[in-house]
Chains A and B, each alone.
Chain A
Amino acid sequence: MSQPELLSQDFELGFTYTRSTGPVVGRFLTDLRDRIIVGIKGSDGKVYVPPMEYDPVTAEELSEFVEVGQSGEVVSWCWVKEPRDSHPSAVPFAWALIKLDGADVPMVHVLRASAESEVSTGMRVTARWAEETRGFITDIDGFVAAGDES
């Protein structure tokens, strides 16, 4: 038996999902399109951002939307030194948990900074909006240090 040829090729598997957003996530995304960030109030009085459909304590349906601030505080973060193709940034950035003003829980999003040394827990950040919004989480292009959003 002769030595086999070495065979290899690129192969892409695509899961082309579409998702129904439902009334709660749909409302969140619709408001993002208008450059507004909303959370939802739970039975414990806490404001959850992004809004959740069911109460984490009572499991009741939730419906009391609350607009929250577009600035907040970095609760924790992770610097991505070598972004991959599917990351929302070609240059190094941070994934950050950001507690927006008026919210009681942090939300994960992109934190853009020129260097890891410019990111710290507790820093104030502000949403920077995409030039065109379409009703998607990336309508927030990312968060930047407060004062740098323009």
Chain B
Amino acid sequence: MSEEREMITGIEVPIYLKYHFTAGEATARFLSQVRQGKLVGQRCPSCNNVYLPPRGSCAACGVATTEEVEVADKCTVESFTIVYIPIPGNPIQPPYVIANLIPDGANISFIHLLSECDNDTVHRGQRVQAVWKPQEEWDYAMDNIRYFKPLDEPDVPSESIGKVPVTGWEV
């Protein structure tokens, strides 16, 4: 080994964790209905909060949730972040907006994409609505909704975020 070769300065050491994920009753029920184009949460019998997606129990009250409540695909932005850094394996090109959204009729947020929006003016309290994939592409997945886009509706004031009825936001 007389020839000079380059010094090693870096190594690739990927770690792959392989799971077999079983959804469980509440999530399976939720995804089965997402496949039909419906967002169905569960109401807590104790505090009346509606959870979407449902987890089968209320973390605040420690009780099981079984009553199903269909919520709207219109939501209010509770919080958001603008992602500028590409994530390996993620097909979405930055910058893009990830938001905590609370659907009308629910009280707890879930995470989804915002698009067709001006990233510089996205704000808390903004009204948005789901943009669904064509029905023939629906599967057991939240990405049946491609993203949410802004609605031409007045903002929800801070104290009312998470308290909008399923019928929508009226000023």
Q: Say whether B32 contacts A12, CB under 8 Å.
A: no
Stretch in B4-12, B99-107, B128-136 with 4+ CB within 8 Å of A: B4-12
Which 6 pairs between the two chains have the least Cβ-Cβ distance? A135-B8, A7-B23, A8-B22, A29-B8, A4-B29, A4-B28
Interface of A is mostly: mixed
A122 to chain B, nearest CB (A): 32
A1 to B29, CA, bound (A): 9
Stretch in B13-21, B77-85, B143-151, B157-165 with 4+ CB within 8 Å of A: B13-21
Q: Answer yes or no: B170 CB below 8 A from chain A CBs.
A: no
Closest to A26 in B: B8
Q: Say whether B11 contacts A29, CB under 8 Å.
A: yes
- Mind listing 26 A-B residue pairs with CB under 8 Å? A1-B29, A7-B31, A8-B20, A8-B21, A9-B21, A10-B19, A11-B19, A12-B16, A14-B89, A15-B17, A16-B12, A16-B88, A17-B14, A18-B10, A18-B12, A19-B10, A19-B11, A21-B9, A21-B11, A26-B9, A27-B7, A30-B5, A30-B7, A33-B8, A35-B1, A135-B8
Number of interface residues of A (CB under 8 A): 28
Q: Answer yes or no: B57 CB below 8 A from chain A CBs.
A: no
Contacts of A13 in B (CB 8 A): 16-17, 19
Contacts of A35 in B (CB 8 A): 1
**Chain B interface category by residue count:** 20 to 34
Contacts of A8 in B (CB 8 A): 20-23
Q: Say whether B16 contacts A14, CB under 8 Å.
A: yes
* Set B13, B17, B21: member contacting A19, Cβ < 8 A: B13
Interface membership of chain B positions 47-82, coded 1 if the CB is closer than 8 angstroms to chain A and 0 otherwise: 000000000000000000010100000000000000
A143 to chain B, nearest CB (A): 21
Q: A7-B31, A12-B16 are in contact. Are A30 and B8 (CB under 8 A)?
A: yes
Q: Answer yes or no: B140 CB below 8 A from chain A CBs.
A: yes
